Amino acid sequence: MYLIGIDSSTTATKSLIIDGDGEIVAVGAAEYPFETPHPLWSEQHPDLWWDGTVQSMRAALAQSGIDPAEVGAVGVSGQMHGLVLLDEEGEPLRPAILWNDQRTGKQCDDMRLWLGKENLVRITGNDALAGFTAPKILWVKENEPEIYSRVRQILLPKDFVRYKLTGDFATDKAGAGGTSLLELATRDWSPTVLAALEIPPQFLPPTHEGTQVTGVISAEAAEATGLRAGTPVVGGGGDQSVQAVGVGAIEEGIVALTLGTSGVVFATANEPFYEPEGRLHAFPHALPGKWHLMGVMLSAAGSLRWHRDTLAPGVEFDDLVAPAEEVPIGSEGLLFLPYLTGERTPHPDPFARGAFVGLTVRHGLPHMTRAVLEGVAFGLRDSFALMQGVGLGEIRQVRVSGGGARSRLWRQILADVMGSELVTVNTTEGGAYGAALLAGVGAGVWPDGESACAATIRVTGSTTPNADATAAYDSFYELYQGLYPALQATFDGVRQHGE
């Protein structure tokens, strides 16, 4: 039996095929753009995800040479929080408003006013944030009433792909947690929040666990993709929750750290924890009976890319980072604040800005490079500190993935700053791989997610912290923590000049 995972991100859709032992058989991918029609806006037409699914699926099936009848199930993953509005014919009414869209500040304030911030966090596990789905719905309702009047179904991006695959409306509980409409404890839509926001419950699809079958491949989808009609489609989840399954971070004490353009710290919990001020995201896990806390840094490896492209264009990343190994811990008093695209955790501020602090004539490019690596590590440590502050317990191991994790120096800095062992694993395909594992559980290949991960995921490398380095970084982290409060008024002052 073969299993398929589909991951629809902001820039590409990937279709991955694995066998019953978890070995990757084939991977197909299709890229597409997104639009920024106004400052702070980010939109994408849903048809791009479906076209990407068709192209990547056909490429993967052709590459593998397998008989589609041997595919036991398909799992779905993708970008979170985006708003897809469908009319009564099931057609998109407008381009989707994406997770990184920042237009909804007023609507977030309205949600806090109508529900009370403390009550909102208690119910949903999260504060109202511009990236989430609910304030986007309110924005359309207020600014595009003629479109809103025609809405009959609200979906998340991956669930539009699911709809095109099956003809059924459905979502997973992990992805639904990122809408600000789901009750964290019950793992289902919140009647209180829906009533306060005047969103009709019938606009929302049924919620399912990530291992449950939500429908089967329709005849139309089979013709388009090459899959067999009747193949089960499993719940899957939002990209970060499924990514955690894909690296085996599915138990308390094992944390997933994704060091991509953005940085994500993901911690599994056996009960619905939340951070009282809403500075961490708290969602249901893709696995039944589990929840997770998540901290998000908007510019992680993206900070290093900006640094390279701006100050050393054309230089390979390895060549850029190598001289930074000779720079002492703390970059000789140079600190970097990595808020180049605003920030989410621990400061939900879309207008926060980046900064080098402490520059002198002694500092050169290697110092600045190391300061970027250290600043991102400090920013990620903020999430670790918040998680431990809500009683999540000991962090025994950090499973690191993403492009930034290829740097040996960066892995060592992260281990030293966190004071925790960092490990790499044999799986590198993230969300698509996790979606395939969830599909395997839904198809009965494994009895549960824990068994699936145990059978397929292995630790391949380890970076241990140096006690002396950890102690040294503690003092620099304290200085780093003072930067945002000290500069916040300045960020507000320069904001009008940067928009």
Is the model's pLDDT at 494 over the cut of 90? no
Provide the 3-class DSSP secondary structure of residue 258.
Answer: strand
> For 183-262, where are the alpha helices, taking DSSP H only?
191-197, 219-225, 239-247
Contact at 8 Å (CB) between 268 and 226? no
45 contact partners, CB below 8 Å, separation of at least 6: 92, 95, 96
Give the pLDDT band of residue 70 (cuts 50, 70, 90): very high
Instruction: Determine whether 348 is exposed, middle or buried from the number of CB atoms within 10 Å of its CB (0-12, 13-18, 19+).
Output: buried
Mean predicted lDDT score pLDDT of the chain: 95
**pLDDT beyond 60 at 272:** yes
Cis peptide bond upstream of 346, omega within 30: yes
| Position 56 pLDDT exceeds 70 | yes
pLDDT at residue 156, as a whole number: 98
Q: Tell me the three state secondary structure of residue 248.
A: coil
Judged by DSSP in three states, 220 sits in helix
Contact assessment for residue 19 and residue 25, using Cβ atoms and an 8 Å cutoff: yes
**What is each CA distance from 192 to 188, 222, 381, in whole angstroms?**
12, 40, 34
Q: pLDDT tens digits, residue range 298-315?
A: 899 999 999 999 999 999
Q: Tokens 């589990």 label which residue?
A: 290
* Residue 427: predicted pLDDT: 87
Tens digit of pLDDT for each residue in 403-432? 899 999 999 999 999 999 999 999 888 889
Q: Are strands 459-463 and 291-297 parallel, antiparallel or unpaired?
A: unpaired
Angle at 340 between CA 335 and CA 345, to 5 degrees: 85
352 φ, ψ to 5°? -65, 150
Per-residue pLDDT at 457: 96
E-only strand ranges, 156-217: 171-172, 182-183, 188-189, 207-208, 213-216
Query: Is residue 499 predicted with pLDDT exceeding 60?
Result: no
Q: How many CA atoms lie within 13 A of 296 on its CB side?
A: 24
Q: Where does residue 52 rank: exposed (0-12), middle (13-18), buried (19+ CB within 10 A)?
A: buried
| Mean per-residue pLDDT, 8-37 | 95
Q: How many CB atoms lie within 10 A of CB 8?
A: 33
Give a three-class secondary structure readout of 87-125.
CCCCCECCCEECCCCCCCHHHHHHHHHHHCHHHHHHHHC
State mean pLDDT over 383-406: 89
Structure tokens at 34: 């997104």
pLDDT at 496 over 80: no
**pLDDT for the residue numbered 492:** 87
Q: Which residues are catalytic?
A: 239
Among 133-137, 202-206, 426-430, 493-497, which is the least confidently predicted range?
493-497
Contact between 74 and 217 (Cβ < 8 Å): yes
Cα–chain center distance at 137: 20
Token pair for 489:
């008024």
Domain boundaries, the chain: 2-241
pLDDT at 256: 94
Please give the average per-residue pLDDT across 51-73, as a whole number: 98
Give the pLDDT confidence of 117-128 residue by residue, as tens digits: 999 999 999 999
Confidence of residue 261 (pLDDT cuts 50, 70, 90): confident
List, in sequence order, every residue forming a beta bridge with 5; answer none if it has no partner.
16, 75
pLDDT at 388: 87
pLDDT digits (tens, 9 = 90+) for 332-364: 999 999 999 888 899 988 889 999 999 999 999
Nearest to 185 by CA among 193, 133, 83: 193
Quick: pLDDT tens for 80-138.
Answer: 999 999 999 999 999 999 998 889 999 999 999 999 999 999 999 999 998 899 999 99
pLDDT computed for residue 314 by the predictor? 95
498: confidence class by pLDDT, cuts 50, 70, 90: low
Query: Could you count the other beta carbons within 10 Å of the beta carbon of residue 462?
Result: 12
- Give the CATH class of 2-241: alpha beta
- Side chain identity at 275, as an amino acid letter? E
**Bridge-partner residues for 258, per DSSP?**
264, 401
